[in-house]
């Protein structure tokens, strides 16, 4: 079976970078493009600010440049002259039904692409996002996960834009409910780089990931750093590693305490025989459980194989 064309929309981010490496190590997909969005850091090519509000990056989590202590070589290729939204729309129009989109940052680029092409949900082969928290609290605030908190207006536009599609065309939403259960430990990192620690990828992992692990060691007792974005990609490739529920999500954009909260109707209250004020159509497939050991095994194995190929 030929690999599925994949676009990753990232706000790199150490875990975004690990998702890019996971894509390179996964035979099921062919990475045809990466688009950038503000979030963990500030960017130039994709959306550099949210749709409506101001933006503050998260250097404490990922470092000033978003990659811990890693220094990357000067890129050998120039970025596309197209905006991220243009690239997303043109890729989907050029290859209808073929391209998988995975967003691992705020949904600003996806919202801009939807505004340009409302048929985007139908043109994509599939769409998965790392963002939100559907049956638990947040991480940027007690109510909101970071990606939907940074640009709640974009997140709301995306959930509205996908509403009413058949289940295979709904966004696969990979939120904190499952991403906080998959952590990369220092031992797991050591296993990844063991075949060639001095190689370019081995060196990058050794320079970038410890900064991210140290953040979690200071702030949580998870035993490692959450692999939010690699899990979103892995579940887009193999949804069987998670348990999914089709539902409706509305994103709070204005609440003082709840800005960015992904309000999720898991009990179907929107269908009640009184005026609830919610549209009835489902607009999301949310992951509520995950086989964490199965994911960590394939994740560490594939990145280790990528390092091995450098020897």
The token duo for 2 is 């030929």
DSSP readout, 30-44? Answer: EEEEEEE-SSSS--S
Restricting to residues 221-240, name those near Ca ion by CB under 5 A.
229
Q: How far apart are CA 248 and CA 230, in angstroms?
A: 24
Return the number of the residue (117 or 260) whose C-beta is nearest Ca ion: 260
Among ligand RIB, Ca ion, none, the one that 35 touches (CB under a kind-dependent 5 to 8 A) is: none
Return the number of the residue (19 or 123) whose C-beta is nearest ligand RIB: 19
Q: Min. distance of Cβ 16 from ligand RIB in angstroms?
A: 5
Binding site for ligand RIB (CB under 6 A): 11, 13, 15-16, 39-40, 104-105, 130, 139, 145-147, 228-229
Q: Min. distance of Cβ 267 from Ca ion in angstroms?
A: 30
Measured from the Cβ of residue 194, the count of other Cβ atoms closer than 10 Å reads 12
Per-residue x/- track, 12-31, Ca ion (CB under 5 A): -x--x---------------
Return the number of the residue (123 or 150) whose C-beta is nearest Ca ion: 150
Residues with active-site annotation? 228
**145 near Ca ion, judged by CB under 5 A:** no
Q: Min. distance of Cβ 19 from ligand RIB in angstroms?
A: 8
Among ligand RIB, Ca ion, none, the one that 63 touches (CB under a kind-dependent 5 to 8 A) is: none
Among Ca ion, ligand RIB, none, the one that 153 touches (CB under a kind-dependent 5 to 8 A) is: none
**104 near Ca ion, judged by CB under 5 A:** yes
H runs (alpha helix) in 95-199: 108-116, 120-123, 146-150, 152-161, 176-179, 186-193
CA distance to 106, 111, 217, 245, per residue, from 129 (Å): 9, 12, 26, 15
Dihedral sign from CA coordinates of 178, 148, 47, 212: negative
Q: Min. distance of Cβ 111 from ligand RIB in angstroms?
A: 16
Number of H helices, E strands in the chain: 12, 11
Return the number of the residue (11 or 117) whose C-beta is nearest ligand RIB: 11
Residues 6+ apart with CB under 8 A from 241: 234, 235, 290, 291, 294, 295
Q: Min. distance of Cβ 118 from Ca ion in angstroms?
A: 26
DSSP readout, 36-96? Answer: E-SSSS--SSS-SS-SSS-----HHHH-TTSSTT--PPPPSSPPPSS-HHHHHHHHHHHST
**Bridge partners (DSSP) listed for residue 34:** 8
Return the number of the residue (11 or 282) whose C-beta is nearest Ca ion: 11
Binding site for Ca ion (CB under 5 A): 11, 13, 16, 104-105, 229
């Amino acid at each position: 079976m030929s690999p599925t064309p994949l676009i990753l929309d990232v706000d790199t981010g150490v875990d975004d970078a690990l998702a890019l490496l996971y894509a390179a190590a996964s035979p099921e997909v062919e990475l045809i493009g990466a688009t950038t969005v503000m979030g963990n850091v500030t960017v130039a090519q994709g959306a550099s600010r949210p749709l409506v509000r101001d933006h503050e990056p998260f250097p404490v989590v990922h470092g000033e440049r978003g990659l811990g202590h890693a220094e990357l070589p000067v890129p050998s290729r120039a970025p596309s002259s197209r905006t991220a939204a243009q690239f997303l729309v043109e890729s989907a129009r050029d290859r209808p039904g073929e391209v998988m989109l995975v967003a691992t940052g705020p949904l600003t680029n996806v919202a801009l692409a939807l505004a340009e092409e409302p048929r985007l949900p139908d043109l994509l082969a599939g769409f998965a996002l790392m963002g939100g928290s559907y049956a638990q609290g947040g991480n940027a605030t007690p109510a909101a996960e970071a990606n939907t908190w940074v640009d709640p207006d974009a997140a709301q536009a995306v959930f509205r834009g996908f509403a009413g599609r058949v289940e295979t065309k709904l966004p696969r939403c990979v939120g904190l409910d499952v991403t906080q259960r998959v952590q990369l430990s220092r031992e797991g990192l050591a296993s990844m780089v063991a075949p060639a620690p001095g190689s370019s990828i081995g060196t990058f992992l050794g320079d970038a990931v410890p900064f991210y692990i140290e953040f979690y060691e200071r702030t949580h007792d998870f035993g490692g750093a959450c692999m939010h974005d690699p899990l979103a990609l892995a579940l887009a490739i193999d949804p069987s590693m998670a348990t999914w529920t089709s539902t409706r999500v509305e994103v709070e954009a204005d609440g003082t305490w709840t800005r960015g909260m992904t309000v999720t109707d898991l009990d179907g209250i929107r269908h009640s025989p009184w005026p609830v004020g919610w549209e009835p159509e489902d607009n999301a497939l949310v992951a509520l459980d995950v086989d964490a050991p199965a994911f960590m095994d394939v994740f560490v194995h594939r990145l280790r194989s990528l390092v091995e190929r450098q020897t």
